[in-house]
Structure 1
């Protein structure tokens, strides 16, 4: 995938905090439009805190940063929903409403992000479900789906507003290897269509089979495989 040099993520000398603990320091990197980047590191190394800072769930207190042209430092609370409309966020634990159908889960997000035209909602709903290979599950409840299918619903949800960046936090962590590889291939298809992806993962096989740039959280720093040498054998 070729990608633009214009960054969708840019951090400069950023400090990442979890509560009052500084978990990462002097974080500096860019992610370009259309780029695929892995985020790796041991449990507790700051990966999730970094991702939460990028979608403004945690404040950026020190340093500078922007995501999808929104400044992270001192971002106003009323701007956060507009930032997140430009992002697709995928979690390990799905975070679906289990008392609503697949369609109702997606329509809830669409209504919350400004969709009002029922015909356009119906059309977009069908488009994103087809894109993730779930064209016939719209009236099913989440508990009627497999784990892999539920994660595909989450990915469909994240695609609704055509994000410039997808942030995925261990999206295959609760799935068996074969299903997880199918989800990984779906992310690659989305990336090939031009969406930048930042994926936190512990899956060593992905790094080997689908090589890409790696950011590694390590001892309070973020190492970049484009700038520093570190092998896959000691990635964690």
Structure 2
């Protein structure tokens, strides 16, 4: 297998739009393989729009972006599922099917991303559930799980295709502090095994206790802690 040293995310001179309004102007940054990066900024500063652009939920109109080997500017809709196999996406609000078991939720994603071999699917399911500490939850429905357990299912779902990067939008936003710590530690563990993580968060505690590189959306710009110093005080 050829090892590539290319960044998993490379954005150049991109302007990020939310409907017709530009929320981030002419931004450029890279995320390397295995890197852990926080994305911070006030509500409405463009964090979610940036993440949605990276996984091709919003169109990139200006500039270029390469994510997991895909050119986001020119990606065709038929290729978006292939892009999404390379990235794991984790939402704040879980987005699980409430009427399906944990296994059925994960199988749905597997089928949608091209898995066909039943025995391989079964093996991979068991692996990702064990990885997130939910080996015994396969036959439960989401309402039978706590919020923290549901978020672990979402992380398991994101790990199915062994992504090169996890993109997480406020993954602990709806969880209480103790549960949040457990989820955050799971992200750190996944990152230590070589998966890059880009996490939007408002949680000062994570940023203070587990310092990593920070990208901050502010006044239409994207500030990078690797290149400049900036204040993190106030709401973000």
TM-score by length of 2: 0.97
In structure 2, relative to structure 1, the CA distance for the partners of 1:7 and 1:235 (3 Å cut) is farther
Structure 1 residue 231, shift from structure 2 partner: 3.3
CA contact (8 A) 1:59 1:74 kept: no
Is the contact between residue 8 and residue 33 of structure 1 (CA under 8 Å) also seen in structure 2?
yes
Gaps of 5+ in 1: none
Q: Describe the SS at the equivalent of 2:186.
A: helix
Aligned to 2:95: 95
Instruction: After TM superposition, give the deviation of residue 166 of structure 1 in Å.
Output: 0.3
Aligned to 1:170: 170
Partner of 1:111: 111
- Within 2, Cα distance between the matches of 1:87 and 1:62? 22
Map Cα deviations across residues 56-109 of structure 1 (whole Å, 9 max, x no partner).
000110011110010011211111111011010000000000000000000110
Please provide the CA RMSD for this pair.
1.1
Deviation, 1:6, is 2.5
Counterparts of 1:205 and 1:26 in 2: how far apart (Å)?
Answer: 30
Report the Cα offset of residue 234 of structure 1.
4.8
In the other structure, the counterpart of 2:120 is 120
What do the CA deviations read for 1:120-173 (whole angstroms, capped 9, x no partner)?
Answer: 111100000000000000000000000000000000000000000100000000
1:62 & 1:106 partners in 2: Cα distance? 35
What aligned pairs does 1:71-86 form with structure 2 within 5 A after superposition?
71-86=71-86
- Structure 2 equivalent of residue 151 of structure 1: 151
Aligned length: 233
Classify the secondary structure of the residue corresponding to 1:232.
Answer: coil
Equivalent-residue separation in structure 1 for 2:153 and 2:166 (angstroms): 14
Q: Do the aligned partners of 1:40 and 1:235 also contact (CA within 8 Å) in 2?
A: no
Answering whether residue 20 of structure 2 is matched by residue 20 of structure 1, we say yes
**What secondary structure does 2:95 align onto?**
coil
Q: CA deviation at 1:235?
A: 6.8
1:53-72 alignment runs, 5 A limit: 53-72=53-72
State the Cα distance separating 1:5 from its structure 2 match: 5.2
Query: Distance between the aligned counterparts of 1:231 and 1:27, measured in 2?
Result: 19
Match in the other structure for 1:43 = 43
Q: Structure 2: which 5+ runs fail to align?
A: none
Deviations 1:4-59 (A, max 9, x none): 85200000100000111111001100000000000000000000000000000001
